[in-house]
Amino acid sequence: MADFDVPELKEGLDTPEIPPVHIGVTKHSQPFVAKAEFQQPLGFPGELVDNWEQVAIDKMGELLSKYRSFRVYLDSCVKCGACTDKCHYYLGTTDANNMPVGRQDLLRKVYRRYFTFAGKYFPKLVGAVDLTQEVLDEWYSYFHQCSQCRRCSVYCPYGIDTAEISMAAREIMDSVGKGQKYCNEIIGKVFKIGNNLGLPEPALADTLEGIEEDVEDDTGVKVRYPLDEKGAEVLLVTPSADFFAEPHVDGLIGYGKVFHEAGISWTLSSHASEAANFGMFIGSYENMRKVALRIREAALDLGVKRIVFGECGHAWRVAYSFLNTLAGPFDFLDPRYPVPQHICEVTWDLIQRGALTLDKSANDDMVVTYHDSCNVARASRMGDKPGGQFEIPRNIIKAVCNHFYDMPPETIYEGTFCCGGGGGLLTDDLMEIRVKGALPRMQALKQVVEEHGVTHMAAICAICKSQFTKVIPYYGFRMDQIVSLHQLVSNAIVLGAKQ
Ligand code: SF4
Ligand code: SF4
C-alpha cells in the first residue's frame, strides 16, 4: 500500500514511545516547488533568483525588524530539551530535525551567522553557518515537515513558537522564488475564482441545489442552502470541501438544518466561497489580507448582519485572531453578536435556549470521540470563557449523542496532537510525512477503540477530516470512521418540531 514504512501502533500505549534519534532520515521528503505561474500572482519571483542568498538574508532582516517575536524566539532557546519529544513528526519519523528545537536550529544557525556579533566573528564557536544551497534544501524539506500546530510551544518554558519560525522560513523561501506549489496554487485559485477548489459560481449553485433536493428527499422538509442572497441575516463562510466531499458535506447539511430550525436567514457567497486562508501557512501577511478582504466585500455587498464560520480549524484561527485587523472594522454588522462567530457557538447557544429539538438516539449506532484541531485548540477560543474551544464542541456532541468518550488527556485540549496534514502539508507529494505524523493521534484513537468501543472520531476542521480519511486506512481503521461534528447534529435534529 505504501512505499515507505508505516509506523506500528503498540498495545496499551496512549502515545508512541519516544523513538531513537536519527538525523536526516526524512530529508528526501519535499513538496513540489511552485512554478512561475503559481508564484507570480502572489507577488513572488517565478523561480530562484540569481542573488538568492542576499535576497534571503535581506528578507530575514526585514522580518526580524517587523516581528519582535521572531527575534525573541531565535535568541531565547536554552536547549533545555523539553520540546524534543513533543512534535508528532519527530515521534512518527525519528528524525532529529523534526524535533522542534532541531527545526528551529536550521534557521537559527543562519540567523546567528548574519545577525549576531559572535556568529559574524566566531561562527564555529556558536554553531553559525553560511546560507548555502544545502541549507536552503534542508529548509525546504523540514519547514514543510512542520504543520505549524504550536504543540511544542505549550511545553517550552519560554513559549517559543516553532510555527512562527516555520512561517518566517517559508516567507523567506517565497521571496527568493522557492515557494511550495500546493499552497501557492490554492491561494491563486481563491484570488481568481473565490475558493481553494476553483469551483465557479454556476457549479456552486448547482451543488447547493442538489443538496437541497437530497435533504428534501431524505427528510421531506425543504431546507434551503442559499447562495448570494442579499439581505440575509448571516453570511456563512465555510471551507469549500463542505460543498461536496464526505464527510464535510454532511456538516454543511447540518449547518443548514440548524439555521432552518432556528428561523435564521442565511446565505453563502460565491465571492467568498472559502473559509480557508492559506496565506497564513506561507507566512504572508499581504496574501492573508487579500483573502480575508473578500469576506468583508461579500458581507458589505450582501448586506448581512452577522458573519459565521463553518468547520475549519485554521480559518477559525485567522478569523478569531486576525479578521478584525486584516479586514475590519466590522462596524456595519449587528453589535449584539461577536465578529466573527463560529458555527459551534451558534448551535450551542440555540441548544442552550431550547431552540432545537434533538433526538440523541439517532446517533446510537456510534460511539464517538472528538479530535481537538490544533488551530482551534491552541490559537483561538470560542464563547465568552477560557477553554470554550474545548467545552463547546464537546457539549454539542454530548447533546446529540448518547455515547461519547475522550481520548487520553495528554492528547487532547491544549496538548492535542495534530492530524499530520495541517499547515499546508495536505498534499499527496507529502504522503509519507502525513502518514507518519498521524502516528500519535492514531495511537490515542486505538486506545479508546479498545477501551470503550469507540467507532467514530468527530472533528471541526476540513483539513483534519481530509487528512484522517486518507491516512487512517494505513493504520487499519476505515475512512468512514471520521465524521463532521455538524453531521452528528444533522442526524439528531428533529425538523419542524418547533413550528
Ligand atoms: S509547531 Fe507542531 S509541527 Fe511544528 S515543530 Fe512544533 S510540534 Fe512540530
Ligand atoms: S523547550 Fe524551548 S527552550 Fe527548551 S529546547 Fe525546546 S525550544 Fe529550546
Place of cell 501577511: 285
Ligand nearest to the CA of 152: 1
Amino acid making up residue 138: E
Q: Kind of pairing, strands 306-309 and 266-267? A: unpaired
Pick the residue whose CA is nearest to atom 6 on ligand 1: 152
The b-or-e profile of 252-291 (16+ CB within 10 A means b, else e) is: bbbbbbbbbbbebebbbbbbbbbbbbbbbbbbbbebbebb
Q: What is the DSSP string of 16-45?
A: PPPPPPBSSTTTT--PPBPPHHHHGGGT--
pLDDT tens track, the chain, 499 positions: 678 999 999 988 889 989 999 999 999 999 999 999 999 999 999 999 999 999 999 999 999 999 999 999 999 999 999 999 999 999 999 999 999 999 999 999 999 999 999 999 999 999 999 999 999 999 999 999 999 999 999 999 999 999 999 999 999 999 999 999 999 999 999 999 888 888 899 999 999 999 999 999 999 999 999 999 999 999 999 999 999 889 999 999 999 999 999 999 999 999 999 999 999 999 999 999 999 999 999 999 999 999 999 999 999 999 999 999 999 999 999 999 999 999 999 999 999 999 999 999 999 999 999 999 999 999 999 999 999 999 999 999 999 999 999 999 999 999 999 999 999 999 999 999 999 999 999 999 999 999 999 999 999 999 999 999 999 999 999 999 999 999 999 999 999 886 6
Among the bound ligands, the one closest to the CA of 158: 2
Cα separation, 6 vs 139, in Å, equals: 24
Query: What would the pLDDT profile of 188-222 be if each residue is shown by its tens digit?
Result: 999 998 888 888 999 999 999 999 999 999 999 99
DSSP code of residue 5: P
Could you give the C-alpha distances from 372 to 94, 176, 390, 458, 461, in angstroms and in order? Answer: 24, 36, 7, 9, 9
Amino acid at the residue 263:
G
Contact present, 282 and 271 (Cβ < 8 Å): no
Q: How far is the CA of 89 from the centre of ligand 2 (A)?
A: 16
Q: What is the pTM of this model?
A: 0.96
Looking at all shown ligands, the one closest to residue 103's CA atom is 1
225, 261, 224: which is closest to 244 by C-alpha?
225
Q: Pick the residue whose CA is nearest to atom 6 on ligand 2.
A: 83
**Helices (DSSP H) in 263-322: which residue ranges?**
285-302, 313-317
Collapsed DSSP state (helix, strand, coil) of residue 355: coil
C-alpha 367/C-alpha 449 separation (Å) is: 9
Nearest to 477 by CA among 436, 440, 449, 437: 449
Name residues contacting ligand 2 (CB within 6 A): 77-83, 100-101, 156, 158, 160
pLDDT, one tens digit per residue, over 161-183 is 999 999 999 999 999 999 999 99
DSSP assigned state of 254: H
Expressed in angstroms and rounded, the spacing between residue 169 Cα and the centre of ligand 1 is: 14
